[in-house]
Amino acid sequence: MRIPWSKRKLSHISRLSRKTLINRSCRRELPSPLPKERPPTSELLKEERDFSGTSHVFVYVMLPSRIINMECELVNPDGLMDQLKQLKSIGVDGVSVNTWWGIVEANNPRDYNWDGYKQLFRMVLEAGFNKIQVVMSFHECDDHDPHISLPKWIKEIGQQNPDIYFTDKDGRRNPECLSWGIDDEPVLKGRTAVEVLIIVC
């Protein structure tokens, strides 16, 4: 299905804005109820600090993307736990982590693998934190080794229908993320881009 040019002709700035909006809109704290491995409530309450009515700014530290590999496995659990405990000891309030669409739904549509991230969230709780910001990342990552791309099945669709990507006025495609032009077009194995992103979130 060919996407109308009026929908495809979006600027590079729009692409970056969409990426930012998706990340911000999907940012959320760890849902309740918490996993069974949660530390006793009494221990969490001892560590929790009440800053109501003060000018305290909560400090979150972004964890590196490479702690989860392309098979959605935690790379170095022992080293990560040591680092989390160090962060807790210096008064950090919580941590942030990117969860990559290219890892979670990597190979087939609706085939989700959250194993590594679930293990990570349990470890964050065990380290004494009860706050975590999860950034749902639906774009590619060039800073990760190995490179985190869009899901394999999305790339295959893009080879047949490059209109799913942003296109500038000179006709150049940018395959780092999906175009706004398919937000309402069921070109992703019967789903629209919005349907795909909402289900993952």
Domains of the chain: 5-32+58-200 (3.20.20.80)
Mean of all residue pLDDT scores within the chain: 80
CA distance 93 to 100: 23
In this prediction the pTM is 0.69
Interhelix angle for 115-126 vs 77-89, to 10°? 40
Output the pLDDT for position 170. Answer: 92
Percent of the chain residues past pLDDT 70, beyond the cut:
71
Ordered DSSP codes for 25-78:
HT-BPPPSSPPTTPPPHHHHHHH----TTS-----EEEPPGGGB-TTS-BS-HH
Q: Which residue has the higher pLDDT, 183 or 41?
A: 183
> Reduced to 3 states, what is the DSSP secondary structure of residue 95?
strand
Q: pLDDT tens across 74-118, in order?
A: 999 999 999 999 999 999 999 999 999 999 999 999 999 999 999
